[in-house]
Amino acid sequence: MRRSARFRGIANSSLGWSGFFALCIMGATCAIAPMMCWNRSSPPEIIQSQRALFQMMGHDNLSEAGFYDVYPDATPSDFVDFIHSEEGDVLWPATTDHVWEDDTPTRVVDPSTDQLMRPEGVEFVAHEVDPDRGMQLVYIPNDEDGEFIVECYIEPDERPVRVLTWEFPTAAREFDLD
């Protein structure tokens, strides 16, 4: 049985047939793997919520709110304690009842403060998902690595639609959150 010249070239190359097949398998794996891990699309309310939380954790916002006066050696856990205190109330953005008509994330900004607003239908929850709430953004402090893990849920009994990891504090003013 005669092989074509093209295949003989592959067999005689430095890869050989086993190398050729290994490359084919690696290529197919790289093409298919992202589809296997594909999350459901995130509703615009979730995207707006994660943007608002990212902005809340911004170094400049924390400085203006007096966070570093209370916690000079700030950790992500300190941030959670602060935003759930009376002093930290100033960091919470106003809520909006804006209705997103399509899947296009729209930045809804409070005109009086130029801060992103948080959607009314999304709960902000610390540490772990709350089974009694609906759509929620769960922020989990990781003091050891100086970061936050943010999980976004449409339904609390399902897998998160987004999982993000942010350094703390965020550089919110340095990034375009679109």
Question: Which H or E run includes 5?
Answer: helix 5-12
Residue 129 · residue 18 · CB < 8 Å: no
* Helix, strand, or coil (residue 73): coil
pLDDT tens sequence across 38-50: 445 788 888 888 8
* pLDDT over 90 (residue 126): yes
pTM over 0.85: no
- Residue 95 makes CB contacts below 8 A (sequence gap 6+) with 117, 118, 119, 120
pLDDT tens sequence across 19-28: 656 555 665 5
Residue 37: predicted pLDDT: 42
